[in-house]
Amino acid sequence: MVKFGAHLYLWAEKLDVASLKYIKKIKELGFDGFEIPLTELDSIDIEKTKKELKRQDVIGIGSLGLPKDMDIVSSDEATRRRGIEFMKRCVNAISELGGDSINGVVYASWGKITGKPRTQEEWKRSVESLKEVCRYAKDYGVTFGLEPVNRFETYFLNTATDALKLAKDVGEPNVKVHLDTFHMNIEEKDFYHPIKEVGSMLGHMHCCESDRGMAGTGHVDWNGVFRALSEVKYDKWIVFESFTMDMEKIAASTAIWRKMAPSADALATGGLKFLKQMAQKYLTK
């Protein structure tokens, strides 16, 4: 049965002691899980976070966009090594927090644009780096989800087809594909067929509206999304990821220039209500 999660970026730009209060909020709003950004890993107090997750009966899910100085497709070996070792630290952290997955732009640095298509050498570096990380993560029961994102955020992986190919080239049992309807709306021809193509390799799902606003208020083909999820027997996470102008750093990096809803809470509750309705219609039969 699917579980529903919300990303911390709705309310805070990093997980530190001050933002632990949002775990309780997420629970009160009706979510099962909490997507934790791992980019600022050193800000996380593992013990206090673990206690709060347990207290609120909320599951932690890892979210990561690799920084540019940790690019695992870089021609610089030291940069690649930093990325690999950082991802191993992320594995340790999410495992300690009781989570079992890290999803996102984990195959190259997020936001890097070269002005050219990816190269075969870069692909090879990504495969080799991910193999090492996934083999390390296997002992911790942690899975990595490769998220193709739109062309304005990366040149490396934009479509479900490419993400599936990369996952198969890595070839480890704990590497999956992570799809996001916001990015699919830009890069895919439709929503149904990419999900069907990925099939059992689909390990994580971000259900976001076409404008990154409240799910159900834009032109994402939600019937196509959930029909495909039903047909591939998807039973993992459905995470609502959106952003507000209040999170200035995140808003700047994700191009949120206008108010998407009256508040982050309104975005979350409205989006969750809609997604649960769709799941009830398609995923409970």
What pLDDT does residue 96 have? 98
What pLDDT does residue 257 have? 64
pLDDT mean over 228-253? 80
* Other CB atoms within 10 A of residue 42 CB: 8
Q: How is residue 57 written in tokens?
A: 């009966």
What pLDDT does residue 247 have? 59
Does 214 or 273 have the greater pLDDT score? 273
Does pLDDT of 285 surpass 80?
no
What pLDDT does residue 262 have? 72
pLDDT mean over 208-218? 90
pTM over 0.85: yes
Catalytic residue among 147, 153, 188, 209: 147
Does 212 or 193 have the greater pLDDT score? 193
Does pLDDT of 194 surpass 70?
yes
pLDDT mean over 271-277? 96
What pLDDT does residue 13 have? 87
Does pLDDT of 254 surpass 80?
no
Does pLDDT of 118 surpass 90?
yes
What pLDDT does residue 263 have? 83
User: 148-182 as b/e, with b when 16 or more CB fall inside 10 Å?
Assistant: bbeeebbbbbbbbbbbbebbeebebebbbbbbbbb
What pLDDT does residue 34 have? 93
For the question of residue 147 being annotated catalytic, the response is: yes
For 19-72, how does the pLDDT look when each residue is reduced to its tens digit (9 = 90+)? Answer: 999 999 999 999 999 999 999 999 999 999 999 999 999 999 999 999 999 999
Dihedral angle of Cα 189, 191, 192, 198, to the nearest 10 degrees: 90
For the question of residue 231 being annotated catalytic, the response is: no
Q: Domain limits at 100? A: 3-282
* Other CB atoms within 10 A of residue 233 CB: 10
CB 241 within 8 A of CB 208: yes
Does pLDDT of 253 surpass 80?
no
Say how many domains are in the chain.
1
* Other CB atoms within 10 A of residue 95 CB: 18
What CA–CA distance (Å, rounded) separates 198 from 36?
25
What pLDDT does residue 213 have? 84
Report the CATH number at residue 42.
3.20.20.150
Does 257 or 222 have the greater pLDDT score? 222
Judged by average pLDDT, the poorest of 32-36, 106-110, 240-244, 250-254 is 250-254
Mean per-residue pLDDT of the chain: 94
